[in-house]
Structure 1
């Protein structure tokens, strides 16, 4: 089963740590990162898609992807 997550956050080192943690849990980068100005909050925001192959299992919308 292939899983997909879209990580987002303010443009800070915390976002980089979030992506690094996902990579170290077996997730792989999927596509290019996104970077945009959030006018409502006055900050730059980052996003990165990640995917992960997991054995067997059945996807359900209630599963917590970050625990996979």
Structure 2
């Protein structure tokens, strides 16, 4: 089964580290990254979808970040 996550973070090195960590755990990039201005907080935000094949059935209780 393929699982999906959307990684988001302020436009900083933390975003790159979050994506790099996911890639090191076997997640794969899915689509293009996004970049938008967060008016409420006055910062640019980044997003990147990632997917991963897992051997367990889907459950809403899954902790996707621990997969």
TM-score (normalised: structure 1): 0.96
* CA apart distance, 1:20: 0.2
Flag structure 2 segments of 5+ consecutive residues without an equivalent: none
Counterpart of 1:21 in structure 2 is: 21
For residues 54-65 of structure 1, what are the structure 2 equivalents within 5 Å?
Answer: 54-55=54-55, 57-65=56-64
Q: Kindly report the root-mean-square deviation, in angstroms, between the aligned alpha carbons of the 2 structures.
A: 0.5
What is the Cα deviation at residue 61 of structure 1?
0.4
Distance 1:40 1:33 in 2: 21
List, as ranges, runs of 4+ consecutive aligned residues in structure 1 with deviation greater than 2 Å.
none
How many corresponding residue pairs?
67
TM-score, with length taken from structure 2: 0.97
